[in-house]
A and B are shown apart, each in its own frame.
Chain A
């Protein structure tokens, strides 16, 4: 079997020669037969001789290394080109700022025996003396991975990170690769939507471990949040079912700060970069004075401002933002939403039918008639399973479910302090 090519590792790169070489050297230390592995480096608009360096490394690499280059300025196009060149049954997308740890590829392959997509663990690495920004970024990543790890987590489209991702090559071409319309941002989330719509099963694989050298900073983040705003509008245009999910409840749940920032952003599309610079400077000032609470507030203001300015750009001008939001309807659970009563749960086939209906229409979870939880319909998440409900209940139970249980027990005149 070992002569068969199993894995194609695709590394898109853009002017990061040093980290690209670090990434390739780490790949050489994978503990699997190297004749089953090919590595494809696709350089996009590089002018730092990344391509030549990779070609030079090919001579000493223990695996097959192929190098291509183009000038697309698009991560989506670069990954697609790599996928088209790939000959392995499994594609592993790996970013050039990752260092892959031994066992990673094997763990991905193992996960793909039972799942369609394996999301690897990209451990964020920050300097010994980190900035506030780097500490926050690390926590964000670690928390995302930790959430996915818990049994019963219901994957949705925004869990698909393309930095360390394994997928069957056949599935990738069947769902139609990355969408080139999403050149800069969220092209991975968009692929996630299509994958979940075909019923793909996601897994988070912590053993597929890479180290990710976190290089983002506050300025780039604020700008990127704006691109996210644009990309989310684009996403809704492509997948209208997502509209309620992304924009449906903004007007209902937004607080004053967000509402004000929507207005300000819509009115100042052209002055945006200057305003963002001022906000970033204020955040840095608050950091230096260790005014953490102020900093958190300012960070939110900057995020809201940049995001809504992006949305305003995408919907075609500031005046259209509110129309766009009014036209986005929130999810409302219909009167005939399926109900699952935990005090008297249905069995077998009935339960499956109930969950399948709940995937489409949402689900009301009750306990002896008392409402304890509502699962809203989700157009881009895994089909609802009982383990998802268990997970949701557990997550909500600290504040929401316990009162329901207490009510139930009071109805039945049971003592609260079981088992005493």
Chain B
């Protein structure tokens, strides 16, 4: 993408519209900035702007804010709604050998723990004691170790160990903002809501890989609160509802929905897709999903290009892995149509356009990585299931699962 060639890091600025009186200064090392426009804790919009001599003038910001009028009005409308009592909650962070990231993540979680919420760190198959020692510095945060590798195993461990009615998840490479948890929890007043996802903005845009990812993929899904249900969205495109880096789950609904599929996501041969597959099942079991732009998490995207390539390969594998599961386990016959259509209109098209060097296309190496992933997806999922017999139990019947019986 063009940004890769433009080069130069991009500043990420948190702009509070209530206190917008002076220019943004001190951005000398940047040529561009991504403004995250906020009212209270709610993200009402974003804007990519040029930086002149380390400064973004306030007049320019005010001009840009006009485009966010509609979400600002929506936000003010939401503020006028009566507040309800929030349910109890547990925050779970799954981590694996990323002590540096955890160091940045923990202070925000510690504030939540001080506010009375239960906070769990699930250390997944760690190769050293470093994370355990780091967490030990925060007496209010509970440390758990999940010896078997796999992000979904760690998530399930968190779900089964949590005591709150709601379990909120974030990742170790993310930082939660003030008001994040409350914003997620408010949406559970509707008993049909089993899952709430929040908005995720980049923590930094220092490298071409991070800038490309934010512009082409990102985790941000718009600036308006949206509600999804089976009648209004195809559950196979659950990716547009959010991602596992910023989500909260109603624990009681797990009896019907089941746990995360341990044959999916990081640490398994399927590489990703565990969160998307779970979102799919939430809808399939008749629950609602809410996307809440008031619940903000800052995410550090992969810094180097090879990791980005691996990530995209993983997305290709994971997507077709979980679609394989949807077809075989959930008997979602539409997968056959959606799978072919998506391959033609996204993966194949991206690859062809990259080869033809059309303007604004995906870099060839990334398009190729994702394209390859697609072909490995179904096989990877079947292999992952063979590798783990325990998974099969969870698949066959969430109701009869003995772990789940302890839940409700």
Residues of A within 8 A of B (CB): 123, 127-130, 132, 134-136, 138-139, 142-143, 146, 150-151, 289-292, 296, 394, 397-398, 402, 405, 416-417, 419-420
Contacts of B256 in A (CB 8 A): 128-130
Can you name the residue of chain B whose Cβ is closest to the Cβ of A138? B286
Tell me if B334 counts as interface (CB < 8 A to partner A): yes
Q: Least Cβ distance of A182 to chain B in Å? A: 30
Per the bound structure, the CA–CA distance linking A146 and B188 in Å amounts to 12
Q: Is the CB of B191 within 8 A of A290?
A: no
- Size of interface on B: residues with Cβ below 8 Å to A: 35
Of B62-70, B165-173, B214-222, the stretch lying at the interface with chain A is B62-70
Per the bound structure, the CA–CA distance linking A129 and B259 in Å amounts to 14
Q: Is the CB of A416 within 8 A of B192?
A: no
Q: How many A-B residue pairs have CB under 8 A?
A: 68
Of B72-80, B122-130, B135-143, the stretch lying at the interface with chain A is B72-80
Can you name the residue of chain A whose Cβ is closest to the Cβ of B331? A290
Contacts of A398 in B (CB 8 A): 74, 77
Question: Which of A128, A136, A405, A419: most chain B CB closer than 10 A?
Answer: A128
Q: Is the CB of B77 within 8 A of A419?
A: no
Q: Is the CB of A128 within 8 A of B399?
A: yes
Task: Point out the residue from A123, A134, A135 that lies within 8 Å of B191, measured CB to CB.
Answer: A123
With A128-B399, A143-B192, A417-B65 in contact, do A135 and B286 touch (Cβ < 8 Å)? yes
With A123-B191, A394-B81 in contact, do A420 and B20 touch (Cβ < 8 Å)? yes
Q: Is the CB of B334 within 8 A of A290?
A: yes
Q: Is the CB of A416 within 8 A of B231?
A: no
Q: Least Cβ distance of B258 to chain A in Å? A: 9
Can you name the residue of chain A whose Cβ is closest to the Cβ of B255? A128
With A123-B191, A128-B398, A420-B20 in contact, do A394 and B285 touch (Cβ < 8 Å)? no
Q: Is the CB of A417 within 8 A of B333?
A: no
With A290-B331, A417-B65, A417-B72 in contact, do A397 and B191 touch (Cβ < 8 Å)? no
Contacts of B24 in A (CB 8 A): none
Task: Point out the residue from A146, A150, A402 that lies within 8 Å of B73, measured CB to CB.
Answer: A402
Q: Is the CB of A130 within 8 A of B285?
A: yes
Task: Point out the residue from A127, A150, A397, A417 that lies within 8 Å of B69, measured CB to CB.
Answer: A417
With A130-B286, A394-B77, A416-B66 in contact, do A290 and B333 touch (Cβ < 8 Å)? yes
Tell me if B18 counts as interface (CB < 8 A to partner A): yes
Per the bound structure, the CA–CA distance linking A398 and B229 in Å amounts to 19
Contacts of B59-116 to chain A: CB distance below 8 A: 62, 65-66, 68-70, 72-74, 77, 80-82
Can you name the residue of chain B whose Cβ is closest to the Cβ of A416? B69
Q: Least Cβ distance of A147 to chain B in Å? A: 10
